[in-house]
Amino acid sequence: MRLLPVGLLAMPLACLLLAAGCGGGGAVEPAVGITPRSEPTPLLTATPEPTAAPTLATPEPVPTVHLPEVRSLEYLVADLPVPPLPATFAPSQEDPALATLIGTALSGYEGDYSVVVWNLEDGRSASINEGQVYYAASLFKLALLLEAYRQRDAGEVDFAELLTLEEKYVEYDFGTLKYLELEEGDMLTVADALKAMIIVSDTPTAVMIQDVVNPVRVEQTLRSLGIDDMSVLTEELPTTARDMALLMVAVAAGAEVTEESRQEMLALLLQETIRGGIPSGVPPNVAVAHKTGNFTSATHDVALVWGPAGPYIIAVLSDGAWAPQPLVAVSQAVWDYFAANP
């Protein structure tokens, strides 16, 4: 079963190649001869018609034939250590001062925003419009990540299995395939498809993974985690800040996966290359495991941040088009709050 997420339509650039043949010819001078005396000299000498030189046809370009091959994306992964997390996560307890601070950080920005913050060390939390529904954009890839590892640990999915990048997947490309040097027909393992899906937020490989794990199974896992609004079974791809925070908590806790799988998931999320949202609001070199979602009606980020008062979950969703600055403002305000109140 394959989901076709709404709005994720690839818009490839086209280049027009113009080829022009050139040739030509000039008039041929008549031959000069001697007129015999016995014949009258003609009053008019006819000039032969110019003979055109043959035109050289421009050869047709030879099309480049791509030979599909097995591609490795191992180069994407760095050997990053995953910082420690509390053995158990503290229950969420509303912190009014933190909620007020978040509201102040968002004042002056137009549009709709939803925020959930949860400190896993001491439970301090805050939420604003946590139940508002948004188009998830690439946030749905976080659910696919968790489901893929759950099925691997259950012996249902082999990460060494080769997947083929068929045309039906290529049509979701936003330009990341060129960055990855992947073309239609190429093959890569499930493990490498997960790397592309998370580290560069590639969508064709995400749809491949979705077909492997079965979106119905993804939906069942979401409901078992208490995630009520998020869905990968509808074209609207709905989600909320509350749902994304719960999903990131499940990944951080390693819900129904081995410790090895938990570490691998967090290591991939630590390496996402789109860093303009929550990571830009904390000091350099702070560990941030996160997943973004950006589209014409969505600028989202959900993260696990190793903060000054312990690790915390932060989800910021908005209906703005590629507008990361409000997310940065909230991220910075939350970091500063925990730094001032450890």
pLDDT digits (tens, 9 = 90+) for 127-186: 999 999 999 999 999 999 999 999 999 999 999 999 999 999 999 999 999 999 999 999
The sign of the torsion formed by the CA atoms of 200, 205, 210, 212 equals negative
For residue 13, what pLDDT is reported?
Answer: 33
Strands 93-94 and 124-128, how do they pair? parallel
Instruction: Delineate the domains of the chain, giving CATH numbers in brackets.
Output: 90-340 (3.40.710.10)
> Is the four-CA dihedral 174, 177, 178, 180 of positive or negative sign?
positive
Of the given ranges (46-55, 77-86, 151-160, 232-241), which has the lowest mean pLDDT? 46-55
Q: Which DSSP letter does residue 281 get?
A: G
Q: How many Cβ atoms sit within 10 Å of the Cβ of residue 155?
A: 7
Asked whether the predicted pLDDT for residue 196 surpasses 70, the reply is: yes
Mean pLDDT check: name the lowest of 34-38, 84-88, 212-216, 272-276. Answer: 34-38
How many CA atoms within 13 Å lie on the side-chain side of 307?
A: 32
Q: Are 170 and 243 in contact (CB under 8 A)?
A: no
Q: Which of 170, 232, 165 is nearest to 2 (CA)?
A: 232
Residue 12, pLDDT above cutoff 90: no
Whether the Cβ atoms of residue 33 and residue 42 lie closer than 8 Å to each other: no
Pick from 93, 81, 102: nearest CA to 335: 102
Q: What is the residue-averaged pLDDT of the chain?
A: 87
Q: What pLDDT is stored for residue 60 in this prediction?
A: 74
Whole-number pLDDT of residue 63: 66
Please give the average per-residue pLDDT across 97-105, as a whole number.
98
Residue 37 half-sphere exposure toward CB, CA atoms < 13 A: 0
How many Cα atoms within 13 Å fall on the side-chain side of residue 132?
A: 17
Confidence check: pLDDT of 27 > 90: no
Structure tokens at 139: 């946030």
What is the sign, positive or negative, of the torsion defined by CA atoms of 214, 216, 221, 227?
positive
Closest CA to 98 of 120, 124, 121, 122: 124
Q: What is the pLDDT of residue 14?
A: 35
pLDDT above 90 coverage of the chain, percent: 79
294-341 residue pLDDT tens: 999 999 999 999 999 999 999 999 999 999 999 999 999 999 999 999
In the predicted model, is pLDDT for residue 210 greater than 90?
Answer: yes
Dihedral (Cα; 252, 239, 232, 220), 10-degree rounding: 60
